[in-house]
Structure 1
Amino acid sequence: MMNTLPLGVGLYLIIVGGIVWLAYSGAQQMGYNWQWYQIPKYIYTFTDDGFQLGEILKGLWVTIVLSVVSFTFATVLGLGIALLRLSGLVVGKGVAIGYLEFIRNIPLLVLLYLFYYVLGPVFGFDRWSAAVLTLGVFHSALISEIFRAGINSVDKGQWEAAASIGMSRGQAYRYIILPQSVRFMLPPLFGEFVHLIKSSAIVSVIAVAELTTIGRNIISDTYMSFEIWFTIAAVYLALTLVLSFGVSALERRFQP
């Protein structure tokens, strides 16, 4: 793990560098007028009141808040689905499997349109609510499988030990099974959080004021397509790389 991480990051940066070079070459052939000097004011400014966040950093903050709220909802829902599937009840298992198959086989964009344009007018969902529900529901299906795998990784003897001292199934989950399965679940859960952050860009199609939407709005005002998209991509890259290093550290920490 220690050796493969720098290699993977290096390969990733090489690929990104190649894409940037191709885009830059294409822009040069088009005679594009680069205006990089205007980018800093969209990141930060200094006024009489001191340091002020620019539109891009404000959009980044909305992306982070949206991702955290959606991930929290997805985690709670995913745990419920996993426990329902492992409950041993025929109806519960059927409902869980049906939910997973439906969510995993519907595109994220279609799910977003379903929550905002179809269910939104019925239940009064605004853009933010529809975005949180879409991301939470979609990723809950993936997170439920992480929980299920983590729970199944605990030795069956632990269940027998819990039953031998008179614990109910709920108590066994709370005090024995879930605490022991944490080390198996944390790394993939954090990896799924990184995935969710990247997925959050799709809510720009319903004009939630997150990072991608801010980028599109700036471009519509300035026509600086290349500069803005390069900057937005760099912000996403920096955020996900930091989190990816955290995931790798967790994997080493909890490695059996």
Structure 2
Amino acid sequence: MNEHQDEIIPARHPGRVVAAVLCITIAGLVIVSMLQNPAYQWAIVVKYLSATTVLTGLGWTLGLTIASMTIGVILGIIAALMRQSANPVLATIAAIYIWLFRGVPLLVQLIFWYNLAALYPAISIGLPFAEPIGTIPTNDIITPLVAALLGLGLNEGAYMAEIVRSGLLSVDPGQREAAQSLGMSPAHTLRRIIIPQALRIIVPPTGNEVIGMLKATSLVSVLSISDLLYSVQGIYGRTLQTIPLLIVASIWYLVASTILTTVQRAIERHYGRGHRSSHHDALSGLFSLSRPGFLLGSKRRG
């Protein structure tokens, strides 16, 4: 028998080689063009990358991202639970909230909140149909920062509501029924059984929403908030160095989004590992004859 008969010859893919060479060639031409074109003004880019004004704007951008996502996640969880409620009033209110804030563009919402005083010049404090205890001018409450948080947070809450709801629906209904049969309260079931499993579905799109929120904060520049984009706009408005300052902003957005993507993937691996190890025996482990009273790792009540 020929000793070469059992040798496995890998299939040739000339199309892949051609595509790879073509991509490398195009990328090389782009990089060379960027380095040789004096209009990019790389010296100006390096100069302003660590400028105090730019770094302060970056801090505002990160702060707005964290605050708005916190508001969005809290509202999303509440709206998702209301959407699944057996009470038709709660479910309808949640559905209208999701429909409204997902349907109106974010920029329109930001401008609307900023101009709320045109509808309500003052906000009265007191009981309905009674003399107000006090009145506060709306503009004293709805500052540009508050308008930005309202617009970003309420808009994000509508998207997070659907993400959380899809995660809750992904859990087998039998696990909820089994938990109830063992005497676990609905809140305890949600906290110990449903949410830990739903996180596998919730975390990946939530990570994408965080990155999307990072970029969406650039819209608050229309409210004159000194975020990253507004900061570089102020600089190139004085120096007329528009392109290098926009490159500075782009670099910092890319750095922040890269860090967030790395964190997102680490969290996904964490929850994905737990899912893979328990995928085949999640339902069979719900009831254990050897350890009665235990449910998916939760301790016996009482």
State whether TM-score is above 0.5.
yes
- Are residues 1:207 and 2:224 paired? yes
1:60 is matched by which residue type in structure 2? L
The reply on whether 1:37 has 2:43 as its aligned counterpart is yes
Counterpart-to-counterpart distance in 2, 1:146 and 1:154: 13
- In structure 1, the gaps of 5 or more residues are 1-9, 45-52
Alpha-carbon shift at residue 171 of structure 1 (Å):
2.7
| 8 Å CA contact 2:44, 2:244 repeated in 1 | no
Which residue in 1 is equivalent to 2:180? 163
| Residues 4-19 of structure 1: pairs in structure 2 closer than 5 A | none
Q: Counterpart of 1:239 in structure 2: which amino acid?
A: A
Contact residue 58 and residue 228 of structure 2 kept, 8 A: yes
Compute the displacement of 1:34 (Å): 5.7
Distance 2:82 2:117 in 1: 25
Match of 2:74? 76
Distance 1:33 1:183, change over 3 A: closer
CA shift, 1:24, in A, is 5.9
Query: Which amino acid is the alignment partner of residue 65 of structure 2?
Result: S
- Measured after TM superposition, the shift of residue 241 of structure 1 is 2.1
Q: Deviations over 1:96-143 (max 9, x none)?
A: 111111111101111001111125854421111111111111111111
Q: Which residue of 1 aligns with 2:148?
A: 131
* CA apart distance, 1:79: 0.5
From the two aligned structures, give the one with the greater helix fraction.
1
Alpha-carbon offset, residue 183 of structure 1: 2.4
Residue 61 (structure 2) pairs with residue 60 (structure 1): no
Q: Which has the larger radius of gyration?
A: 2
1:103-114 alignment runs, 5 A limit: 103-114=101-112
Distance in 1 separating the partners of 2:205 and 2:94: 21
Identity over aligned pairs, percent: 33
CA distance, structure 2, for counterparts of residue 104 and residue 247 of structure 1: 24
Which of 115, 119, 139 is the aligned partner of 1:117? Answer: 115
SS in 1 for 2:115: helix
* Structure 2, unpaired ranges of 5+: 1-19, 123-137, 276-302
Going from structure 1 to structure 2, the CA distance change for 1:178 and 1:223 (only over 3 Å counts) comes to same
Letter in 1 for 2:75: L
Give the match for residue 96 of structure 2: 98
Per-residue Cα deviation, 1:67-93 (whole angstroms, up to 9, x for no partner): 001100110011000000011111111
Q: 2:250 aligns with which of 225, 230, 233?
A: 233
* 2:240 matched residue in structure 1: 223
What SS is found at the alignment partner of 1:154? coil
- 1:249 alignment partner, one of 266, 269, 279: 266
Indicate the SS of the match to 1:254: helix
CA contact (8 A) 1:43 1:55 kept: no
User: What amino acid does structure 2 have at the position aligned with 1:43?
Assistant: L
Paired position in structure 1 for 2:189? 172
Partner Cα separation in structure 2 for residue 220 and residue 212 of structure 1 = 12
Cα RMSD for the two superposed structures: 2.8
Give the TM-score normalised by the residue count of structure 1.
0.80
2:170 to 153, 159, 162: 153
1:169 Cα deviation after fit? 2.2
Aligned residues of 1:78 and 1:143 also touching (Cα < 8 A): yes
Deviating beyond 6 angstroms after TM superposition, the runs of 4 or more aligned structure 1 residues are none
Contact between 2:83 and 2:90, CA under 8 Å: does it hold in 1?
yes
1:200-250 per-position Cα deviation (integer Å, ceiling 9, x unaligned): 100000111110000100011111001101111111112112222332333
Alignment check: 8 A CA contact 2:72 2:160 kept: yes
Note if contact 1:184-1:254 (Cα within 8 Å) is conserved in structure 2.
no
TM-score normalised by structure 2 residue count: 0.69
CA distance in 2 between counterparts of 1:138 and 1:105 reads 9
